[in-house]
Every structure is written in C-alpha cells, then in structure tokens.
C-alpha cells in the first residue's frame, strides 16, 4: 500500500483510522532505533564518532559568512568537526535539545558539564553564575535537569566531560582562599554529577587538567587520589571511563622532547607532552583505584610556540586548530582525540576594567582584544584556521 504524505500526516494525527497492518512510524528525534547501552569497560570511540553539534556549526557558519574565499570555504569545514557543547549555565541547557535533533546512530554527542558553585576558583575569567554554597541549586536546577534531558534521549549516545579545572584546582591551588571556600561544594557537586548522570547511554570522563598541571612529580599522586575519591564517593558508577586532559588547553600530544622540556623546572615533570601525561597519570589513577582511560582535547594544539609559560591558558596567540577527533591515538590508555573547547570561543576578556578580567588574559602571549569567556572572537577563529595543522 502506497500512502501519500498527506495521508500519513492524517494517520499520525489520528484523523483517519490506520489499517490494522499499518504502523505509524515513530518520529525518531535522531539517534538509534532502540536504546543505546554504552559499555564503559571498552573504548566507545572505536564505534562512535564525535558529533559535529549544530550550535558550533552555526557559530562557524556565521564566522565564515564574514570571510572571503577561499578562506570561507575552509572555515565552513571546521563546522563539520565533532566538538563538545558546553552547558556553562542553567539557561544554556536550552542549547542542548535543538542540537540533539538528527544525531546519527553512529555519532556520540559530547557535552561539558560546567557550572559548579564558585566555578573557576583560581582565576576570574570563567567565574560562574552559582556562588559558593549554592550546591542545592547545582543539583536540582542544573544536574537533575541534564539527567532528565539525557533520559529523554535514550537512543542517543553521550560523552560527558565533568567540570573542567575543578578538582585540579583543589590539588594545586589549596592556598587560594576562593578554592578553599569552594572545595566542599566541588567535591560534593562532582560526585553528585557522576552519580546522577550514570545513565546507560552515557560514558563519563572527569577533568584532570593537563601535563603542565597535575603532571608534576609531586602532583601525580595527590591529583589521582582527589579524582579517585570523587569516583568512589559517587558509588563507582558503571558508566565511568576515566579522565579528560588538555581541555581548552594548548599542549602537544606527542612532541619530543616537549614544548617546555628545556625549562629548568622540567626535571620535576616527566609529563612533557600529553601522551606521557596520560600514561603517568593513568598509572597513578590505577594505583588510586579509578578507571584510567583518557580523552584528550587536541582542538587548539596545532601550532606550538605561542606560550611564554607552560601555565598560560588565555587565548594563546599564534595557535592553530589541531588534530581531528579520532580513536587512533597510538596509546592504549588514550581512547580518543576530541575537540572539547570550541575553537573561536574566547577563554576570557582582555578588557582590564571587566569584573571577570584575569591578568592571564592581559599577558603578552594572550590575544587582544578578546571578549568574555565563551563569546565568539572572529579574529581568533581566523588565526586558528590559518595556523591549523593539519590544514583545512
């Protein structure tokens, strides 16, 4: 029986009684035809491709429309690269659902969970909306809402990066008053996020900074123990896979001897590239009793040499788009290269009169002018494109 579109719509609307042998196809909102069950004891990135989300694609389209050829065509290709979407405020949870429409079954949707009370305790650029102490709002208005959304899309696979910088800050910035005040909320919030978002269609990675942060000899063990306790406090969730490194970072994957290896301090840090960091920190995590596979943000590490210091993090000049998302990493502990920071979105404002101005964004190696964290910076995007390696 051949049915016209109009007849199908009439059936679906219930205006016409459907013949007994005719089942109105369920309007799938994307995803697979049945519920997704991810096995976090395996590398899911060998069967799923990071989804190029429509939110970033639209940002890139808008950017390309301001450019002339041949660069505009190259720019548009950036929108086809799988990139994580950041749920950086309660209000911005609304960005997720439109981007979930039409995700193919073999794609995995990358989502960054990023709204802890007292967020970004050792810096200012990404200070969040929730003040220290607002843990109940974090749970009920943020994490519970994310969980409900993910449950609404059981046929779609999700990869989560949980709370960039939060636990690493507790390890290395314990002397900063704001981090002391935030500590209890970070620990409770991260454990709650892991437990509540432990859903069958999810694989979880907790943020572990980068090699120039927790990779120092003296930071490996306390860092691993801090992350492992969050995992254990969450009840050792089944969908937990390990850690995320270099999120919004600039480190090279396997450069030898490493960008900062000739620095006098290098003797105290064996994690001179992210590959070494994944292996060293992965080993420390195994000792601490936590699953230890990693994903690595390679989105902006195409061109080294821009940073004056290893710890410089804000809008690094002369950087470029880096390795594309892939599960071919050459390291058994590294599940995949991914793009977490959407290249073109700012790390922080260079306006020294702004409330969230951080002095790192005023350093000689920080791109200026730059808008507030998360806002689009057209000139920076064009620079990343020009310096991309591989080229577009």
Q: Which residue is nearest to ligand BGC (CB)?
A: 374
For 199, the 3-state DSSP assignment is: coil
Question: What is the secondary structure of 341-368 as a DSSP string?
Answer: S-BTB-SS---TTSTT--GGGGSTTB-S
Query: For residues 141 and 254, which CB has a smaller minimum distance to ligand BGC in the complex?
Result: 141
| Choices 28-36, 178-186, 258-266, 338-346; region in contact with ligand BGC by CB under 6 A | 338-346
Single out the catalytic residue among 115, 165, 312, 358. 165
Tell the smallest beta-carbon distance from residue 342 to ligand BGC (Å).
5
User: Taking CB under 6 A as the criterion, which residues in 119-148 touch ligand BGC?
Assistant: 126
Residue given tokens 């690493």 in the structure block: 168
Q: Is 88 in the site for ligand BGC (CB under 6 A)?
A: yes
Compute the distance between CA of residue 310 and CA of residue 86 in angstroms, rounded to an integer: 25
Question: Please, which residues have CB within 8 angstroms of residue 52's CB and are 6 or more apart in sequence?
Answer: 79, 80, 81, 82, 83
| Choices 67-75, 165-173, 305-313, 340-348; region in contact with ligand BGC by CB under 6 A | 340-348
Q: Is 90 in the site for ligand BGC (CB under 6 A)?
A: no
Is 120 labeled as catalytic in the residue annotation? yes
| 339 among annotated binding-site residues | no
Q: Is 86 in the site for ligand BGC (CB under 6 A)?
A: yes
Compute the distance between CA of residue 364 and CA of residue 150 in angstroms, rounded to an integer: 42
Query: For residues 207 and 345, which CB has a smaller minimum distance to ligand BGC in the complex?
Result: 345
157-162 and 202-207 strand pairing: parallel
Q: Is 163 in the site for ligand BGC (CB under 6 A)?
A: no
Tell the smallest beta-carbon distance from residue 92 to ligand BGC (Å).
7
Q: Where are the alpha helices (DSSP H) in the chain?
A: 5-12, 54-64, 71-78, 96-100, 135-137, 144-152, 166-172, 177-196, 217-233, 274-288, 378-386
Tell the smallest beta-carbon distance from residue 71 to ligand BGC (Å).
22
Query: For residues 129 and 254, which CB has a smaller minimum distance to ligand BGC in the complex?
Result: 129
Q: Is 165 in the site for ligand BGC (CB under 6 A)?
A: no
Judged by CB under 6 A, how many residues of this single chain contact ligand BGC? 9
Site for ligand BGC (CB under 6 A): which residue of 124, 241, 323, 341? 341
Query: For residues 228 and 248, which CB has a smaller minimum distance to ligand BGC in the complex?
Result: 248
Q: Is 373 in the site for ligand BGC (CB under 6 A)?
A: yes
DSSP assigned state of 92: G
Residue 252's CB is within 10 A of a number of other CB atoms, namely: 21
Compute the distance between CA of residue 139 and CA of residue 280 in angstroms, rounded to an integer: 33
Residue 23's CB is within 10 A of a number of other CB atoms, namely: 9
Q: Is 240 in the site for ligand BGC (CB under 6 A)?
A: no
Compute the distance between CA of residue 332 and CA of residue 255 in angstroms, rounded to an integer: 18
Is 71 labeled as catalytic in the residue annotation? no
Name the binding residues: 86, 88, 210, 213, 313, 341, 345
Q: Which residues are catalytic?
A: 120, 165, 347
Q: Which residues are near ligand BGC by CB under 6 A? A: 86, 88, 126, 341-342, 345, 347, 373-374
């Amino acid at each position: 029986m051949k049915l016209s579109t109009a007849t199908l719509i009439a059936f679906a609307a219930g205006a016409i009684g459907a013949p007994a042998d005719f089942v109105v196809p369920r309007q799938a909102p994307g995803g697979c035809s049945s519920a997704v069950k991810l096995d976090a004891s395996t590398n899911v990135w060998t069967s799923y491709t990071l989804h190029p989300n429509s939110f970033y694609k639209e940002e890139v389209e808008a950017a390309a429309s301001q450019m002339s050829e041949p660069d505009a065509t190259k720019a548009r290709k950036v929108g086809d690269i799988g990139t994580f979407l950041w749920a950086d405020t309660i209000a911005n949870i609304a960005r997720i659902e439109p981007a979930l429409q039409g995700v193919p079954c073999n794609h995995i949707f990358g989502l960054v969970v990023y709204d802890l009370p007292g967020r970004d305790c050792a810096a200012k650029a990404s200070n969040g909306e929730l003040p220290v102490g607002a843990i109940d709002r974090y749970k009920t208005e943020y994490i519970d809402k994310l969980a409900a959304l993910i449950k609404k899309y059981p046929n779609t696979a999700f990869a989560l990066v949980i709370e960039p910088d939060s636990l690493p800050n507790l390890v290395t910035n314990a002397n900063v008053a704001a981090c002391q005040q935030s500590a209890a909320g970070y620990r409770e919030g991260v454990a709650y996020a892991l437990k509540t978002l432990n859903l069958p269609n999810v694989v979880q990675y907790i943020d572990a900074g980068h090699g120039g942060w927790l990779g120092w000899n003296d930071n490996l063990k306390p860092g691993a123990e801090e992350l492992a306790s969050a995992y254990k406090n969450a009840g050792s969730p089944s969908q937990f896979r390990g850690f995320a490194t270099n999120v919004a970072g600039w480190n090279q994957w396997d450069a030898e001897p490493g960008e900062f290896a000739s620095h006098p301090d290098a003797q105290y840090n064996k994690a001179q590239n992210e590959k070494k960091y994944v292996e060293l920190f992965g080993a420390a995590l195994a000792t601490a009793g936590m699953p230890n596979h990693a994903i690595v943000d390679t989105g902006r590490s195409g061109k080294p040499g821009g940073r004056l210091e290893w710890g410089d993090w804000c809008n690094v000049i002369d950087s470029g788009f880096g390795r594309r998302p892939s599960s071919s990493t050459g390291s058994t502990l590294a599940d995949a290269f991914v793009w977490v920071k959407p290249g073109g979105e700012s790390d922080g404002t260079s306006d020294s009169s702004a409330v969230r101005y951080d002095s790192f964004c005023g350093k000689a190696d920080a791109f200026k002018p730059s808008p507030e964290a998360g806002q689009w910076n057209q000139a920076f995007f064009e620079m990343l494109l020009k310096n991309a390696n591989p080229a577009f």
